[in-house]
Amino acid sequence: MNALFLFEAGRISKHWQAYLIALILVSTGIFCGNKFNLTVGDGIYLNSPYTIGFMTGMLSLSILFMAAIYAVQFLFKDYDSKFDLVLFSFPFSRWTYLSGKFLVYFLQTFLSFSFLMTGFLIGQVMRTGSEMQTYFNIGYYLYPMLIFGFINCFFVCSFLFFVSFTAKKKLLVVVGGLLLYVLYMVVLVFSNSPFMAGSLPQSIETQHLSSILDPFGLSSYFFEAGTFSVHQKNTLIVPLSGYLLLNRVIYLLISAVFLLLTYRLFSFSDHSKQKVKKALPESEITNRPTFSYMTLQTDFGRKNALRSMLSFAKIDLLYLFRGIIIPSASILLLFFIGMEMYAEIEKGIRLPQKYTGSGLMATTISENFPLFGFLLTAYFINDLYWRSHSSGFSPIENTTFFSENKLTGHFISMSILLFFFTGILITEGILFQASYHYLHIDWNAYLCVFLFNTFPLMLFSGLILLVNACIRNKFIALGVSVLAVFLLTGPVSGKILPYPLFRIFSDFKGTYSDFNGYGPYVLAFAERLLFGAGVIAFLWMINRIFRTKKFSAIVLIASILLLSSGIFSGIFFTKGYIPENEEKALTEAIRYEKAFKKYENLPQPEISDVITEIRLYPSENAYEIIGKYTLVNFTDQPINKILIHFNPDLKLESAVFQSGSESLRINKNISEVELNQPLKPNGTAHLEFKLSYKWYAVNRHQSFNAIIGNGSFMRISRYYPMIGYQKSEEIQDEKLRKENHLGKLEALKKTEAPEVFKKDFINLNMIISTEGSQTAIGTGDLVRKWAKSGRSYFQYKAGNIPFRFAVSSADYTMKSVLYKGITVNIFYQKNHFENTDHLLENAKITLDYCTKNFGKYPFKTVSFAEISSFTRGFAATAYPSAVFMPEDMIFHVNIHADKKQDVINELAGHELSHLWWGNNQIDPDDREGAVMLTETLAMYTEMMLYKKMHGREKMLERIKMHQQIYDSEKGFSENIPIYKVTGDATHISYSKGAVAMVKLSELIGEEKVNKALKNFLQNNQYPKKPSSLDLLNEFYKVCPDEATRKQVDLLFKTI
């Protein structure tokens, strides 16, 4: 057995720090296993072999940070202590030395990861709930430990071992570890990973390449598991075959190459060379001129104190910038962020190239730079702070009067370095804009990158400097610093520090809008930063007092003033804060269901007319609603109890229910109205109400209720009062339902359930007022607009529509055309003009196609309104006579780029066709297959219009792409036939539905499909609630024979 290995292993096992690290890693693993809810699809258990596999793979990223710390500590130990001069005098071979070192290094790293995964296993075993399956198999944990834990650990250790013994610089080892992390993240963007849905689908060739290149093997794991069903993911391990086997073999061979190169390049003599000062000749010594010495008066004033700080900073910067460290880190950082920028611009085969706006570049930096920056900060500060100690110069340094300014000097140098990194990233963003010929530079977007990234990193530098100053062991300080990165800056910080004011190192998770900039988040972020600066300054003052045993009045006053200012700004930051309380929400949901479930089967009136005024105050992030409902009892029974539900997100200012001579005030969000005189069949009642809403940055805005300075959008009907029992408020978790005696959750109504006729459409009369120069877009036709007292007013009316309406408000530029009696409007941000003419033409084509094949357009106008990127969750959404489009999705994209994906044609075809499929001509009830009658038919219309515009071959390319989307997502939820599809299975209703409808048009012809659809509309209009079987029956009627009808069933009734 290698004597060096036995010596080092025995030494490590005797240190108490090793057992403390093991305990921390096991505890961390327990937390991960017990708390992490990283699931990829419905029905896939958190302890399924598939989930355990990719969780092991993702946690294996921690090997990078453990291996880097151990490399800096263990592999450089002999050199730092000058013990290499003694050690290398012993008669052992290069193989004995290197193999002993590597075995200890690898074993230390692998055991550390094993402790983490042991804790993860314990955490999962402790966990209960419907997301866990009862079956336990230790093999589910051991198998990924082999293919991910062991191989990834071997690869990382061999690479860092190679860097350590060839470069002989600690910070380059750190940069090398970050290089592997960057390579993994870049490759994952182009993989088939379910966590990179924003970039899906990538081409098959790209997925093959990423499966080979991924150093941690996750891309190949996801690729090989792509064909697995939900049941297979819950019961089978992903086999070590195909691209997964190829990837693992390749990286084992690469690891062996790194070890071989280390062996070939290592030399005892090179490693132990010492710089020896050249002795001066005796003649120079004897002939030196003599000097007279004099005593100088020392000056310890503020000027020299400042000079000492700058001197410390200068030494740091010379050390960093004169070597290869900063160029290496800069190139790595630029490559990482550059690839992320490229991925944000080029969105795969589904979406076209985005315009390279400053906001897109700035938010890409803010999304990806912080973690990289925090890790660099932790490692760099540790190296800078302990450099004088490692060189043996610290005893001299600490005797100087200005040694107390060492921390400040390091802080200045790190701040300059962070500004440098941020600056080169902003320069890279501008160069990207230039290379894509989109030089609309928005300096406000770029300047806030410093606020959202540089300043939090500077605060973190202040904390890490304190950590290194207070802990006397360099490597324990480094470990604590890296731990602080993950506990105080990442997603885990929300659990450790739930109060948002204390998350002073958190990076910006918001968005940038060409309409609205960063909105109120800029001021809120600055307020929290000021609070953080006050806290860090106060901690520095305490540290200074304890270290120097003396008070400085100026420092004390400055620190207290900064802390006071921080507390004051923190008060402003937390104004309006509403803490999330899951237990309270759960309790209220249980109480609601137990108290009001009876109303599900009690007759309730329907809303027939809505008269409302919506007062928007965008500059205040607020609005008011004044409304009046007309309620009609369409049942054949008198109603004496009515359940009214007001949305808790809005403040109930007042509400009055009127029925006959009765007038009842309502002051609770959920109220039972009991009438003395029951509401008779066909009788009417009224509900008048006033609501208000205002949001604060500390709570973050709601994506579908985003009232902002410019570019507001609200699905506002969701926030109006509802009548009767609301099933959406029920608890979905079966285990929680059982624990609280709520009974089994009722299944969604079957497709075959009896047909329903229900009068639940409304007549809408809405007035929207907004601030001066803004235009408000509502639902229905615009009948009147006027200005009064500095506000603009718009009145919209729509008859016989579902209870579904929305509002937007912005400083719009408008383009309009009158086409065959229908006014087509486009409202857009002034700089987003590129696709407006194309959208107008496609709207005309869509109107022609749909009116010719399906029936008359039901409104006088159609408006396409662009909204800010503060609203997310859809590419576009259609309401009666209005289509709303977020700026960062498909409206403002470069459709003339290399792939020429005409998503504007798809936008017009899909969304405008919803005016036939689901907005007011048909309205299916909540049952299986309902979404087939809306989204699937809209996808069919979209494909036919794409064929009309670009030809059959181009349309078939889009169908191939949708088949790929379906294939990539079908393994993450239960696979069901199209005619039973539900709203959450978009890959079926959209992609598989599009494929099936195009195949149907190829089978029986487009004309027959359109004839069936037209008949379906005529035979199933309101108040009937059609089902997917009604649509299939219309398809059967136009089929020429029984064999064709069987083909229709294969398309829509089989998986």
Quickly list DSSP for 176-239. HHHHHHHHHHHHHHTS--GGGGGGPPPPHHHHHHHHHH-TTSHHHHHHHTTT--HHHHHH-PPP
What residues contact residue 998 under an 8 Å CB cut-off, 6+ apart?
Answer: 940, 943, 955, 956, 959
Single-letter amino acid code for the residue at 916: W
Question: How many CB atoms within 10 Å of residue 360?
Answer: 23
Q: What are 122-142's pLDDT values in tens digits?
A: 999 888 877 888 888 999 999
Instruction: Classify residue 304 as left (phi > 0), alpha (psi -120 to 50) or beta.
Output: alpha
- Compute the distance between CA of residue 803 and CA of residue 719 in angstroms, rounded to an integer: 12
Q: Does 285 have pLDDT greater than 60? A: no
pLDDT at 352: 83
- Compute the distance between CA of residue 808 and CA of residue 882 in angstroms, rounded to an integer: 10
355: closest CA among 816, 829, 711? 829
Q: What are 448-491's pLDDT values in tens digits?
A: 999 999 999 999 999 999 999 999 888 889 889 988 998 898 77
- Compute the distance between CA of residue 632 and CA of residue 612 in angstroms, rounded to an integer: 18
511: closest CA among 448, 555, 593, 466? 448
Instruction: Give 606-727+761-811's CATH code, choosing from 2.60.40.1730, 3.40.47.10, 3.30.2350.10, 3.40.50.1240.
Output: 2.60.40.1730
The answer to whether 469 and 385 have CB atoms below 8 angstroms apart is: yes
- Compute the distance between CA of residue 347 and CA of residue 445 in angstroms, rounded to an integer: 22
Confidence class for position 200, pLDDT limits 50, 70, 90: low
What's the average model confidence in pLDDT over 271-293?
52
Question: How many CB atoms within 10 Å of residue 737?
Answer: 18
712-714 and 762-771 strand pairing = unpaired
Range list for CATH 1.10.390.10 in the chain: 922-1052
- Compute the distance between CA of residue 164 and CA of residue 171 in angstroms, rounded to an integer: 10
- Compute the distance between CA of residue 525 and CA of residue 523 in angstroms, rounded to an integer: 5
Q: What are 627-646's pLDDT values in tens digits?
A: 999 999 999 999 999 999 99
Confidence class for position 194, pLDDT limits 50, 70, 90: low
- Compute the distance between CA of residue 313 and CA of residue 415 in angstroms, rounded to an integer: 10
When mean pLDDT is compared across 161-165, 622-626, 894-898, the lowest value belongs to 894-898
Q: Does 252 have pLDDT greater than 80? A: yes
Q: What are 804-837's pLDDT values in tens digits?
A: 999 999 999 999 999 999 999 999 999 999 999 9
Looking at 729-829, which runs of residues are DSSP E strands? 756-757, 762-771, 775-777, 781-788, 791-801, 807-810, 813-819, 822-828
- Compute the distance between CA of residue 112 and CA of residue 525 in angstroms, rounded to an integer: 37
pLDDT at 277: 47
pLDDT at 275: 45
pLDDT at 722: 97
Which tokens in the block code for residue 575?
């104004």
- Compute the distance between CA of residue 37 and CA of residue 58 in angstroms, rounded to an integer: 13
Place of tokens 């009876």: 598
Which CATH number is 922-1052 given?
Answer: 1.10.390.10
Q: Does 80 have pLDDT greater than 70? A: no
Q: Phi/psi at 274 (nearest 5 deg)?
A: -120, 140
SS3 850: helix
Quickly list DSSP for 381-393. HHHHHHHHHHTT-
What residues contact residue 918 under an 8 Å CB cut-off, 6+ apart?
Answer: 924, 933, 934, 935, 938
What is the four-CA torsion angle of 632, 635, 640, 641, rounded to 10 degrees? -80
- Compute the distance between CA of residue 965 and CA of residue 985 in angstroms, rounded to an integer: 12
SS3 170: helix
Q: What are 352-391's pLDDT values in tens digits?
A: 889 999 999 999 999 999 988 999 999 899 988 888 877 6
What's the average model confidence in pLDDT over 746-760?
90
Confidence class for position 625, pLDDT limits 50, 70, 90: very high
799: closest CA among 756, 858, 854? 858
What's the average model confidence in pLDDT over 80-87?
65
pLDDT at 369: 93
The answer to whether 151 and 244 have CB atoms below 8 angstroms apart is: no
When mean pLDDT is compared across 44-48, 357-361, 543-547, 607-611, the lowest value belongs to 543-547
Q: Taking every pair of C-alpha atoms in the chain, what is the biggest distance, in angstroms? A: 122
Confidence class for position 308, pLDDT limits 50, 70, 90: confident
Q: Phi/psi at 509 (nearest 5 deg)?
A: -110, 10
Place of tokens 């919506």: 614
pLDDT at 394: 67
Q: N- to C-terminal Cα distance for the chain?
A: 60
Q: Phi/psi at 684 (nearest 5 deg)?
A: -120, 155
- Compute the distance between CA of residue 314 and CA of residue 213 in angstroms, rounded to an integer: 41
- Compute the distance between CA of residue 186 and CA of residue 181 in angstroms, rounded to an integer: 9
pLDDT at 197: 45
Confidence class for position 623, pLDDT limits 50, 70, 90: very high
218: closest CA among 373, 386, 50? 50
Instruction: Calculate ∠ Cα 314-318-322, nearest 5°.
Output: 165
- Compute the distance between CA of residue 248 and CA of residue 891 in angstroms, rounded to an integer: 42
What's the average model confidence in pLDDT over 933-955?
94
pLDDT at 401: 59
Q: Which of 5-9, 85-89, 742-746 has the highest mean pLDDT?
A: 742-746
pLDDT at 229: 86
Range list for CATH 2.60.40.1730 in the chain: 606-727+761-811
Which tokens in the block code for residue 174?
């750190």
Which tokens in the block code for residue 600?
């599900």
Question: How many CB atoms within 10 Å of residue 731?
Answer: 18
Q: Does 198 have pLDDT greater than 50? A: no
What's the average model confidence in pLDDT over 652-676?
94
Give alpha helix (H) positions in 574-623: 582-596
**CA–CA distances in Å: residue 419 to residues 339, 386, 599:** 21, 23, 61
Confidence class for position 1043, pLDDT limits 50, 70, 90: very high
SS3 851: helix
Place of tokens 């699905």: 715
What's the average model confidence in pLDDT over 955-984?
90
* Average pLDDT value for the chain: 89
How deeply is 921 buried, as exposed, middle or buried, from its count of CB atoms within 10 A (0-12, 13-18, 19+)? buried
- Compute the distance between CA of residue 724 and CA of residue 641 in angstroms, rounded to an integer: 10
pLDDT at 497: 87
Q: What are 570-600's pLDDT values in tens digits?
A: 999 999 999 988 888 999 999 999 999 999 9
Distance of CA 422 to the CA centre of its chain: 22
Give the helix, strand, coil percentages of the chain, each rounded to 5.
Answer: 55, 15, 30
Q: Report whether the peptide linkage leading into residue 201 is cis, meaning its omega lies within 30 degrees of zero.
A: yes
Q: What are 698-749's pLDDT values in tens digits?
A: 999 999 999 999 999 999 999 999 999 999 899 988 888 888 888 888 888 9
- Compute the distance between CA of residue 620 and CA of residue 694 in angstroms, rounded to an integer: 8
What residues contact residue 820 under an 8 Å CB cut-off, 6+ apart?
Answer: 847
SS3 685: strand
815: closest CA among 779, 784, 839, 799? 839
The answer to whether 173 and 164 have CB atoms below 8 angstroms apart is: yes
- Compute the distance between CA of residue 764 and CA of residue 912 in angstroms, rounded to an integer: 20
Which contiguous run of DSSP H or E holds residue 684? strand 684-694
How deeply is 299 buried, as exposed, middle or buried, from its count of CB atoms within 10 A (0-12, 13-18, 19+)? exposed
Q: Phi/psi at 375 (nearest 5 deg)?
A: -65, -45
Which tokens in the block code for residue 758?
């229900």
Q: What is the CA radius of gyration of the chain?
A: 34
412: closest CA among 311, 336, 281, 543? 311
